[in-house]
Amino acid sequence: MQRSTPLWLWPNLLSLDAPLVAVVWQFQFGRVFKTPLNPAVVALLAITVWLIYTADRALDAHQGNADTARHRFYREHWGRFLPLWFMLFFAAAWIALMHLPRTNLFRGVALLSAVGIYLALVHRVLPGQACRRLKEAAVGILFALGASLTVWEKIRAPRDVAAVALFCGLCWMNCLAIERWEHHMEWSAAIPAATIAGLAFVLFGARPVLAGAIFASSLALVTLNLGRRRLSDNALRVLADAALLTPLLFLRVPTR
């Protein structure tokens, strides 16, 4: 498998794409809400997202889901990752206890508890179809809440709630797209994308950077959906996450 694996697929196989997307949005939320981020908080988010994604994929693979390259990868190599997983788990716990403010620590624990409930429901309780529906929504929403956690204390106005809610919707759309594409199911991205884009346009006057990034990502997902038959499953999976890196395009745009 390793000999024929293209270089561009390795970040996905190693579960590095999701932490990158999370950190990019964490930085942009911090920039917009004027919340300084120290390196420990950034590292904690990246490690935590990696731990959750690798565990989720390993559990999927253990249950017989080997339909995708990433699941086959973890089915074959999870034993090699296990020592690293525990090392990073304890490192994340130490960083959280030593560097997170108490309020954010409590919020983080609550969010991790929600992740634990999600993992239990998806991998132990719910049947296949219900499981997939829950997974699309839960992964997107929990991911978005985790990436924006450091600015929760700055969220007071309706426009701020709308920004986080729109980001949740975008991440949900991303998960929904990946699920549909990988199972070769017909899916029209027009309605969710138009909804997100329309709301982002309304938000643009108050939070132009976040609204612009959300609009650009939703447009990128629609474009991918239109051209999905010309791309391989692996390429679609990688590009779906690349579509969420649009905050990088707005780094020089002034915030309000």
What are the structure tokens assigned to 106, written together? 């409590």
What are the structure tokens assigned to 180, written together? 């549909």
| Backbone angle region of 34, left / alpha / beta, with phi > 0 → left and psi within -120 to 50 → alpha | left
How sure is the predictor about 115, in pLDDT bands with cuts at 50, 70 and 90?
very high
CB-count burial class (<10 Å; 0-12, 13-18, 19+) for 128: exposed
In 115-232, beta strands by DSSP E: none
Q: What is the mean pLDDT of residues 180-208?
A: 78
How sure is the predictor about 182, in pLDDT bands with cuts at 50, 70 and 90?
confident
How sure is the predictor about 159, in pLDDT bands with cuts at 50, 70 and 90?
confident
Q: Tell me: pLDDT of 127 over 60.
A: no
> What's the start-to-end Cα distance of the chain, in Å?
48
Residue 95 CB contacts under 8 Å (≥ 6 apart), including other chains: 40, 43, 44, 47
Contact 29/151 with Cβ under 8 angstroms? yes
- pLDDT reported for residue 54: 94
Q: Dihedral sign, CA of 231, 234, 240, 246?
A: negative
Q: Tell me: pLDDT of 147 over 90.
A: yes
Q: Tell me: pLDDT of 94 over 90.
A: yes
